Structure 1
Amino acid sequence: MDRIQFGRRVAHWRDRRRLTQLEFAALMCRSLRWVEELEGGRRQADPNLSVATEIALRLDITLDRLLYDPVVLCPVESEIDAVRAALQRHDVITGRCDDSSAEPVPVAALRRSLVYARTGFQSGHFAKLGVQIPALLVDATRAAEYHQGDDRQEAYRLLSLSLELTEAAAIKWGDTELAVTAGHRAVAAAERSEDPVIMASAARHLADAMTSHGQAQAAVVFVTAAASRLQADLLQRGPEGLSVLGMLFLKAAMAQAAAAEADDRSHAALARAVPGFLDQAAEHADRLGRDDNLLWTSFGPTNCALYRVAAHVQLSEGADAIAVAADIPPPALTQLPRERRAHLLTDRAIAEKQAGQRETAVDTLLEAEELAPEEVVCRPRTKRLVEDLRLLGTGSAEGRLRGLAARCGLPG
């Protein structure tokens, strides 16, 4: 049982029953602190079945509903606000922490926390990041301020990567302004790290945020400038360098496709540049010679194919996207993180809608939901797709679509 998800569900249903934490504590014959730690996912041990059963009884819901309610998978606004508040803290903005004698978090411990959070993201667990990210940002900022020498440079690397994670999570939550803010901060921290690999990694994330925020043309200019500046250094850095360099060109392709879709007068000319960026990324994937997940890039030939699908979808070329997706070898797909596979399925569902295959699109979305529920029931872009399919009609898939719409929290 995931402590953070379980705590979120308890808080959700306690609020639905209009109980304060103090009142719920009294019903459970526990302390207020016990309830705060339970709902915050900070209990050291997972609640056992007897405790979960008692909680369900006190909240007047079935145990199954307490343990699994898809709508509660999504982050609550207060958690996103907590991430925003962390980014707005004076110490996080300035990098100047208090002068207390408290020891900064060791970089090894900081790295473990980041790896845990990043692994959760790639597994398709985005909501719990609202709890994890604020502490990561504060701890990494403090580590960069107080450590010295190599540890300080490593702390700046980890701070940049933590800000990248913030950007990626914000995009999943649909908060593109938050994503851009985090992306800019990640680039600044990466420069302090003096590590070209981290600089390139931060640049690709900022380009993604800018594209999502409607600044696609600026994203193309920025990310291609980063690739030009860093390429020579990255080619000397082995597989990690190739991976982040290839990702810069993949993000350039997506930004270019978004710019083309937003420009009615120059659409065709802008769209013609997209395959060139994809081909440059594919060249680096061929040099890498395998699919890998260095620095959480999932970079390699298979991810390049996923981006070709996504670019066709962005350009409203649904039939082409479906054809590319069909040619991706299933064994290669299974080696990618769940987030990547579910993202491909949602892209494919959009392509199927574009191609008029709406019943198939519903089944593809259900497949994605089974793989990574939060990628489907929580993401604004997927909810828009579900709403579009409801308006267009899906024939024999209407019943299945109604169930999915309910799990997405959409009104009936």
Structure 2
Amino acid sequence: MDDGSTIGAQLRRIRHERGLSQEGLAERAGVSRDLIAKLEQGARRSARLTSLMRLATALDVELSALTGKRERMGTAGRDGASVLALRDALLSPTHLPGLDDDDGDDGEPAPLDDVRRSVDDACRRYWAGDFAVLIARLPALIGEARLTHAAEGERAVYPLAMAYDLAASIMVHLGREDLAAVGAERALTVAHGGADELLWATLHATYAWALLHQARLDEAERLAAGMAARIEPSFSAPPTAVAAWGNLLMTALAPAAAAGRDVDEYIAMARAGAERIGHRIKIYNTSFGPATVAMQATHAHAVRREPDKALKASQAITREDLTGISYGRHLLDVAQALLDARHRAAATERLTEAHAVSPVWFRHQAVARELVDSIREAETRPSPRIRALARAVNLN
């Protein structure tokens, strides 16, 4: 029985609210009426991410409104309270012009080196998928970084900008794209007040990522590609400049692939930059190198439903090339390609491996939920692994 929380139920409810027939929505979204009918009847196997993005755009809602990814912000308990505290840190009235910028804290600002170390530790926890601890710590870290920024000025731009950027990234995972955009804007505003153009440019990737999850594909691609063009490095530029540029190209690739556009030029340009560097470069809580390009090529081909190309691209990546949840996200793309190639058992293995990277991160991945549900629906008797994965992503 439909409990009102499935993709189909949400789609039908919002479509009715908009006064659209299935035919009218299909025409507006550029998908078939049959797809909409199947989704609303509960055929979740038809719920591909690219189609859902088009439907979300046509309905003028965020993607999470259809996928059910949105975190319940008002739930009781420590985790719910921590998310609320992080929301409040992003939406504090003290951000308004003319008001004090200390969140009511009369304490002494922490030493800049201590704040930087705390932010760097938070970045490591993010990639490790340690979201529960990170969500609990970020509100206080943002407050400390704001105090230090008020006292130190430009010298303290990096830790405050990165604290906001981390909050934005977490909110994307929780399905709160609206708050993610706020956090990304805060980070960009702080970085714009500093002298590090590469930091400011790199942080546009998070804003573009939030736009992607709002199904604003054209805007996301234009923002990332436009910023990449702005900082395009010369032949003699240092590796960090090439890495910042390459990461923005790879950010532009994702919405282009989701929109069904050709991505070969992005891949070729980024690959040339990665080959010039020759190894992985870490910069501002991101990294770029040959494995990054292979990972994003795998993602693009998986999204475009080109499993052979996706699996071929994935062969260039070893476990040592990627860390934490970046490897987990790559495994989801590989699982998608394997499932499209009708290798359910292998896809299940990759999903199990991705879950082991970080169970908390895995639980919030809409793609993981869709893949697990598709495999479970296709199996006459779901295997113990699939039953365990279904519980991990809260599938009833």
CA offsets 1:286-338 (integer angstroms, 9 cap, x no match): 2222023232222100111000011112212223212211x2242xx314212
SS at match of 1:231: coil
Q: Distance in 2 between matches of 1:259 and 1:77?
A: 34
1:276 to 2:291 alignment: no
The aligned counterpart of 2:115 is 110
Q: Which of 317, 327, 334 is residue 348 of structure 1 equivalent to? A: 334
Q: Relative to 1, partners in 2 of residues 1:80 and 1:93: Cα closer, same or farther, differing over 3 Å? A: farther
- Contact 1:240 1:295 survives alignment (8 Å): no
Q: Which residue type is aligned with residue 347 of structure 2?
A: A
The aligned counterpart of 2:307 is 318
Q: Which of 340, 365, 368 is residue 351 of structure 2 equivalent to? A: 365
CA offsets 1:322-360 (integer angstroms, 9 cap, x no match): 2211x2242xx3142121111111111122222222222
The aligned counterpart of 1:309 is 298
Identity %: 25
Q: Which residue type is aligned with residue 387 of structure 2?
A: R
SS at match of 2:395: coil
1:203 to 2:204 alignment: yes
Q: Relative to 1, partners in 2 of residues 1:288 and 1:101: Cα closer, same or farther, differing over 3 Å? A: same
**Unmatched segments (≥5 aa) in structure 2:** 1-76
* Number of aligned residue pairs: 318
Q: Distance in 2 between matches of 1:96 and 1:243?
A: 37
The aligned counterpart of 1:27 is none
**Aligned pairs (5 A) from 1:8-407:** 76-92=79-95, 94=97, 96-98=100-102, 102-147=107-152, 152-232=153-233, 238-260=238-260, 271-272=261-262, 274-325=263-314, 327-330=315-318, 333-391=319-377, 393-394=378-379, 398-407=383-392
Q: Which has the higher contact order (CA 8 A, sep 6+)?
A: 2
- Contact 2:295 2:317 survives alignment (8 Å): no
Q: Distance in 2 between matches of 1:83 and 1:237?
A: 38
CA offsets 1:185-229 (integer angstroms, 9 cap, x no match): 222111111211111211111111111111110111112221222
Q: Distance in 1 between matches of 2:157 and 2:226?
A: 22
Q: Distance in 2 between matches of 1:227 and 1:97?
A: 32
SS at match of 1:156: helix
Structure showing the higher helix proportion among its residues: 1
- Contact 2:228 2:246 survives alignment (8 Å): no
How big is the shift at 1:76? 3.4
Larger Rg: 1
- Of residues 79-88 and 223-232 in structure 1, the stretch that sits farther from structure 2 once superposed is 223-232
Q: Relative to 1, partners in 2 of residues 1:132 and 1:257: Cα closer, same or farther, differing over 3 Å? A: same
- Contact 1:83 1:133 survives alignment (8 Å): yes
Q: Relative to 1, partners in 2 of residues 1:409 and 1:75: Cα closer, same or farther, differing over 3 Å? A: farther
Q: Relative to 1, partners in 2 of residues 1:385 and 1:406: Cα closer, same or farther, differing over 3 Å? A: same
- Contact 2:169 2:180 survives alignment (8 Å): yes
Q: Distance in 1 between matches of 2:285 and 2:105?
A: 34
SS at match of 1:322: helix
- Contact 1:126 1:169 survives alignment (8 Å): yes
- Contact 1:126 1:172 survives alignment (8 Å): no
- Contact 2:79 2:136 survives alignment (8 Å): no
- Contact 1:210 1:219 survives alignment (8 Å): yes
State TM-score, norm by structure 2. Answer: 0.74
Q: Relative to 1, partners in 2 of residues 1:231 and 1:118: Cα closer, same or farther, differing over 3 Å? A: same
- When the two chains are superposed, the root-mean-square deviation of aligned CA atoms in Å is 2.4
**Unmatched segments (≥5 aa) in structure 1:** 1-73, 261-270
Q: Distance in 2 between matches of 1:236 and 1:155?
A: 29
Q: Distance in 1 between matches of 2:149 and 2:296?
A: 34
CA offsets 1:254-284 (integer angstroms, 9 cap, x no match): 1211233xxxxxxxxxx22x11112211122
SS at match of 1:298: strand
Q: Distance in 2 between matches of 1:337 and 1:115?
A: 16
Q: Relative to 1, partners in 2 of residues 1:318 and 1:396: Cα closer, same or farther, differing over 3 Å? A: farther
Q: Which residue type is aligned with residue 310 of structure 1?
A: H
SS at match of 1:293: strand
- Of residues 93-102 and 316-325 in structure 1, the stretch that sits farther from structure 2 once superposed is 93-102
